Structure 1
Amino acid sequence: METFSKNQLIAGLILLVLIFFFLGLGGYDLTAPDEPHFALVAKEMLTDNHWVLPHRNQTPYPDKPPFFFWTIALFSALAGGTVNAWTARLSTAIAASLILWIIWQWSRAGDPDKPENSLGPLFTVLILMSCFKFFFQARIAQIDMVLCLFTTAALTAGYDAMTGKSYSPFRLGLFMGLGILTKGPVGLLIPAGAMAVFALMSGRSAWKNYPFKALAWTFVPVAAWLILLILDVALNNQWDYLNNLLFKQTVVRFFNPWHHHQPVYYFFVSILYDFLPWTPFFLLALPWTRPSREALDQRQIFSWAVILFTLVFFTLSKGKRSIYILPVFPFAAYVTAAKLQWLAGKSKLARTELAAGLIAGLLTLILGLGCLVVLGGWVALPLGWVEAPLPKGWIGAAGFMLTAVSVYILTSILKNRIKPMVAGIVAAMLVVNLLFFLVILPWLEPFRSARGFTEAMNQVITKSYERSSEKPVVGMVDYRSAYRLYGLFTLIEVANEFGFPNSSLPKIDNFFAAHPDGWLIVRQDDWESFLKDHAFKAKIHLRQKVGSGDLFLLITKDK
Structure 2
Amino acid sequence: MKSAKYAISLLVGFALLYLLPLEWRSLWQPDETRYAEISREMLASGNWVVPHFLDLRYFEKPVLGYWINNLSQLIFGHHNFAVRFGAVFSITLSALLTGWLAFRLWRDKTVAVLAAVIFLSCLEVYGVGTYAVLDPMITLWLTAAMCSFWLAATAKTARGKAGGYLLTGVACGLGVLTKGFLSLALPVIAVLPWVIGQKRGKEVLLFAPLAMLSALLISLPWALAIARAEPDFWHYFFWVEHIQRFADEDAQHKAPFWYYLPILIVGSLPWLGLLPGALRHGWQGRQAQSGTLYLLGWVVMPLLFFSCAKGKLLTYILPCFAPLAILLAQHAVQLAQTGAKTLRINSAINLLFGLLCLLLVGGVLAPWGPPRYTLYSAHETRKVVAGCLAFACWAGIALFTLRNSAKRWFWAALCPLGLALFVGSAIPDKVINAKQPQAFIAAVRPQLESSRFILTNNVGVGAGLAWELQRSDIHLYDQAGELDYGLRYPEGKARYVAREAFAAWLAEHRQQGKIALLLLVPREQAEEEDLLPPADRRTQQGRFLLLEYDPRP
TM superposition score normalised by structure 1: 0.83
SS in 1 for 2:540: strand
Q: Which of 48, 52, 56 lines up with 2:49 in the alignment?
A: 52
* Partner in structure 1 of residue 280 of structure 2: 287
Deviation at 1:163, TM superposition (A): 3.2
2:32 is matched with 35
Q: State which of 300, 303, 309 in structure 2 corresponds to 1:308.
A: 300
Amino acid at match of 1:68: G
Q: 1:529 aligns with which of 518, 527, 530?
A: 527
Equivalent positions of 1:420-499 (< 5 A) are 420-423=408-411, 425-437=412-424, 439-440=425-426, 447=433, 449-455=436-442, 457-463=444-450, 472-480=452-460, 481-487=463-469, 488=471, 490-496=473-479
5 Å-filtered alignment, 1:80-159, equals: 80=77, 82=78, 84-112=79-107, 117-159=108-150
Shift in CA distance, 354/184, structure 1 to aligned 2, threshold 3 Å: same
Distance 1:240 1:279 in 2: 46
Q: Separation in 2 of the partners of 1:528 and 1:287?
A: 53
Q: Distance in 2 between the 1:456 and 1:74 partners? A: 29
Shift of 1:172: 2.0
Change (3 A) 1:462 1:401: closer
- The verdict on how the C-alpha distance between 1:14 and 1:515 changes in structure 2, with shifts beyond 3 A counting, is same
Determine helix, strand or coil for the equivalent of 1:286: helix
- Partner deviation per Cα, 1:223-278 (whole Å, 9 max, x = no partner): 11011112212xxxxx4444212321123322115310000111223211112121
Residue 236 of structure 1: aligned partner: none
Structure 1 counterpart of 2:92, one-letter code: S
In structure 2, the CA distance between the partners of 1:30 and 1:309, relative to structure 1 (3 Å rule), is: same
Counterpart residue number, 2:253:
260
Contact 1:368-1:401 within 8 A present in 2 as well: no
CA distance, structure 2, for counterparts of residue 347 and residue 521 of structure 1: 60
| Contact 2:193 2:293 (C-alpha < 8 Å) held by counterparts | no
Is the 2:384–2:426 contact (alpha carbons within 8 Å) kept by the matching residues of 1? Answer: no
CA contact (8 A) 1:524 1:553 kept: no
Aligned residues: 520
Structure 1 residue aligned with 2:6, among 3, 6, 9? 9
Does the alignment pair 1:78 with 2:65? no
Shift of 1:410: 2.2
Paired letter, 1:160 = L
Alpha-carbon contact 1:540-1:553 (below 8 Å) kept: no
Q: 3-state SS of the aligned residue for 2:527?
A: helix
Letter in 2 for 1:159: W
TM superposition shift of 1:398: 5.2
Query: Larger relative CO (CA 8 A, sep 6+): 1 or 2?
Result: 2
SS of the residue corresponding to residue 255 of structure 2 reads coil
Give 1:530 deviation, angstroms: 4.8
In structure 2, what is the Cα distance between the partners aligned to 1:371 and 1:523? 26
Q: What is aligned with 1:467?
A: none
Residue in 2 aligned with 1:180? Answer: 176
Q: Distance in 1 between matches of 2:36 and 2:92?
A: 21
CA contact (8 A) 1:365 1:407 kept: no
Q: Which amino acid aligns with 2:466?
A: R
Go from structure 1 to structure 2 and tell me whether the alpha carbon gap of 1:205 and 1:58 turns closer, same or farther (over 3 Å shift): closer
Measured after TM superposition, the shift of residue 38 of structure 1 is 1.0
Q: Match for residue 468 of structure 1?
A: none
- The answer (yes or no) to whether the contact 1:52–1:66 under 8 Å persists in 2 is yes
When residues 445 and 375 of structure 1 are mapped into structure 2, their CA distance, relative to the original with a 3 A threshold, is closer
Q: Is the 8 A contact 2:226 2:233 kept in 1?
A: no
Task: Name the structure 2 match of 1:409.
Answer: 401
Question: Any idea what SS the aligned residue of 2:252 has?
Answer: coil
2:184 aligned with 1:197? no
- How far 1:22 moved relative to its partner? 0.6
Is this contact kept in 1: 2:245–2:252, CA < 8 A? no
Aligned 8 A contact 1:361 1:409 in 2:
no
Alpha-carbon offset, residue 428 of structure 1: 2.4
Instruction: Specify which of 219, 227, 243 is matched with residue 222 of structure 1.
Output: 219
- Tell me how far apart the structure 1 counterparts of residues 34 and 287 of structure 2 sit (CA, whole Å): 47
CA–CA distance in structure 1, aligned partners of residues 262 and 521 of structure 2: 38
1:97/1:214 CA distance change after superposition, 3 Å:
same
Structure 2: gaps (5+ residues): 489-495
Specify the alignment match of 2:321 in structure 1.
Answer: 329
Say which of 342, 348, 363 aligns to 1:358.
348
Q: Per-residue displacement from partner, 1:57-84 (whole Å, max 9, x unpaired)?
A: 111001111111111111212234x3x3
The separation in 1 between residues aligned to 2:200 and 2:384, in whole angstroms, is 61
What is the letter of the counterpart of residue 89 of structure 2? Answer: I
Deviations 1:330-370 (A, max 9, x none): 11111111111111221554xx6754453234334445666
For each residue in 1:92-126, what CA deviation from the matched residue of structure 2 results, as whole angstroms up to 9, or x when unmatched? 111111111111122122233xxxx2321232122
Question: What amino acid is aligned across from residue 476 of structure 1 in structure 2?
Answer: T
Taking the aligned partners of 1:491 and 1:289, their CA distance within structure 2 comes to 53
C-alpha change, 1:13 and 1:159, in structure 2 (3 Å) is same
8 Å contact from structure 1 (residues 371, 398) kept in 2? no
Partners of 2:468 and 2:335 in 1: CA distance: 52
Q: Give the C-alpha shift of residue 24 in structure 1.
A: 2.5
Provide the TM-score with structure 2 as the length reference: 0.84
Q: Do the aligned partners of 1:60 and 1:241 also contact (CA within 8 Å) in 2? A: no
CA distance in 1, matches of 2:499, 2:420: 43
Amino acid at match of 2:546: L
> Equivalents in 1 of 2:85, 2:520: separation in Å?
32
Counterpart residue identity of residue 97, structure 1: T
Q: Aligned residue for 2:167?
A: 171
Rounded to whole Å, the distance in 2 between the matches of 1:40 and 1:400 is 36
8 Å contact 1:199–1:207 — kept in the other structure? no
Going from structure 1 to structure 2, the CA distance change for 1:445 and 1:149 (only over 3 Å counts) comes to same
User: d(CA) in 2 for partners of 1:442 and 1:95?
Assistant: 30
Deviations 1:497-547 (A, max 9, x none): 9xxx99985422313323423533334569963566x6x6422433121xx
Asked if structure 2 preserves the Cα contact closer than 8 Å seen for 1:521 and 1:554, the reply is: yes
**SS state of the match for residue 543, structure 1?**
strand
Partner amino acid for 1:90? F
Q: Quick one: distance in 1 between partners of 2:354 and 2:235?
A: 49
